[in-house]
Amino acid sequence: MHYSPEMIKLISQARRQAANEDKPNIKLANPSVLTELNKIYHKSDDLALKAIIKEAFDLVGDGWPDKLIQYSEATEQSNFETRYIKKVYRG
């Protein structure tokens, strides 16, 4: 997927606003970054983060804004996986 400069800016802002455990998943190199943002949107209580993600989905188009509305707990349960933060020493 090709990102416009506005999309890059919004995804970077979303990464800055997100919780520490969600930051590793918000990368432009991640092909499922929009799916991750959708999960974070419904999990988060931060209104600023939700506004940033909603604006990013509006820029993408292609039915993504509708996915924010149609999100269900069944999707969350089927895609549930335990996440672990792995710190690697690179010294």
The confidence score (pLDDT) of residue 74 equals 42
Count of beta carbons in the 10 Å neighbourhood of residue 53: 26
Per DSSP, 18 falls in state: S
* Exposed / middle / buried, residue 90 (Cβ in 10 Å: 0-12, 13-18, 19+): exposed
Where helices occur in 1-91 by DSSP H, the ranges are 5-17, 33-43, 47-60, 64-70, 73-78
* pLDDT tens by residue, 12-63: 999 999 988 888 888 888 888 888 888 888 888 889 999 998 898 888 877 7
